[in-house]
Amino acid sequence: MANDHIILHHYPQSPVTEKVRVVLGMKGLSWKSVEIPRLPPKPNLMPLTGGYRLTPVMQIGADIYCDTKCIIAELERRFPVPTLFPGTAQGMVWGIGQWADGPLFKDVVTVALVEMSPNMPAEFLADRGPLYFGPDFSLDQIKANYTQCLANVRTQFGWMDEQLAGREFMLGDTPGLPDALAYYLIWFLRDRMADADAFMSQFTNLLPWTNRIKNIGHGTQEDMSAQQALDIAKESTHQTPEQTDLLDPTGVQVGGKVSIEPISGGPAVEGRLHYLSPNQVAILRQAPQVGQVCVHFPRMGYRILAQT
Ligand SMILES: N[C@@H](CCC(=O)N[C@@H](CS)C(=O)NCC(=O)O)C(=O)O
C-alpha cells in the first residue's frame, strides 16, 4: 500500500472540510476519504491525533495534519502548482482566513444553529453549543443574537460580493485561497438555512461565482477504511525534518516534552517537540495502532506548554 496518499478524515456535512475539499479540487489532486463520526467518540481518529477531535484531519503516511490552516499550507507546500496565491497575493491572505474562520464563521454558525435547532438532535446541540460558544452556551442566548448575526453575515457577504464585481474569482482570473475561504461559509449557510435562496439572491456576483467554484469539484476522491489508514500510518515513517525556532516566545526546545491545545478549547495532545516555526508546530508521539506519528498543528491559535 503506497504511503504517500493524501488521506482526509472527515464527514460530508462538515463545512470547514468543504474548504479543504475545494482546495483539493483547485489543485486537481487525487485523495482518499475516510469517513469519521460527526460526534465523539472517534476511536479510529484518536490513535492518529492523540486527542485532537476536530474535523478535518489530513494524513500522509505517518504525518498527521490537524486544522485546515495547517492542512492547506501543507497542500500548497507539497503541490505548489497551481498556486492558491495567484498574482501578488501572499501572506496577508492568511489574515483573510482569520476573519473568515473567526468572526464571520461565528456569525454564520449562530444563524445555522438557530435555523437547525427545531430538528437538531439534543446530543448534537450539547456538543456543538459549548464547542463554538463556550461552556456557558445557551440556545436562548444564540436565538437572541440571531437577527444581529444575520445582519453581520449580510454585511460581510456583501464585501465578498463587491470583491467579485468584474472578476471571475476573488483575486482575478484564477481561483485561489480566498475563494475557498468564502465558498465554504456560503455552502454552510445554504445547506442549513431554510430561506437561503431568498437571502442569497441579494448577492448578484456571489451567485454565479458559487457555481464556478462548485464546478471546480473536489479532485478525485476514493473511499478508504479507517483501518487501512491506521495501517498506512503504522507501515510509514514520518517525513518531517527536525526544526527549531529560537525566537518562539515560549522558549520550548526540540526534543522536549510538550502539550499542544487549541486556544478555542479542546483536549491537549502530548508528545516530543519535533518542528517549530512561526506557522507550524509538530510533535512526535506513539500509539500501539499507528507506531510513531508526527502530528502537525498551526502555530497560530494553538497553545504550547512545556511538560516536566
Ligand atoms: N480551526 C479548525 C476548526 C474545525 C472545526 O471546527 N470543525 C468542525 C466541523 S466543520 C468540528 O470539528 N466539529 C466537531 C467535530 O467534528 O467533532 C479548522 O480550521 O480545522
Q: For each of the chain's 308 residues, which pLDDT tens digit applies?
A: 567 899 999 999 999 999 999 999 999 999 999 999 999 999 999 999 999 999 999 999 999 999 999 999 999 999 999 999 999 888 999 999 999 999 999 999 999 999 999 999 999 999 999 999 999 999 999 999 999 999 999 999 999 999 999 999 999 999 999 999 999 999 999 999 999 999 999 999 999 999 999 999 999 999 999 999 999 999 999 999 999 999 999 999 999 999 999 999 889 999 999 999 999 999 999 999 999 999 999 999 999 999 98
Note whether 59 and 7 are within 8 A (CB): yes
Residue 34: beta bridge partners?
9
Provide the grid cell at 253: 526546545
pLDDT in tens, 156-212: 999 999 999 999 999 999 999 999 999 999 999 999 999 999 999 999 999 999 999
Q: In the CATH scheme, what is the code of domain 7-82+222-306?
A: 3.40.30.110
pLDDT in tens, 130-143: 999 999 999 999 99
Q: What fold does the segment set 92-205 form as a domain?
A: Glutathione S-transferase Yfyf (Class Pi); Chain A, domain 2 (1.20.1050)
For the chain, the structural domain boundaries read 7-82+222-306, 92-205
- What one-letter code names the amino acid at 105? F
Question: Which residue has a Cα nearest atom 8 of ligand 1?
Answer: 55
pLDDT reported for residue 1: 55
Torsion over CA: 135, 264, 128, 197 (sign)? positive
Query: In 61-159, which ranges are E strands?
Result: 63-66
- Atom index in ligand 1 nearest the CA of residue 69 equals 19
Tell whether ligand 1 has an atom less than 6 A from the beta carbon of residue 179: no
Residue to substitute in 55, 131, 137 for testing ligand 1 pocket (most ligand atoms within 8 angstroms of CB) = 55
- pTM more than 0.85: yes
Per the listing, cell 502539550 goes with 259
Residue 119 CA: distances (Å) to CA of 11, 17, 95, 113, 116 = 19, 23, 35, 10, 6
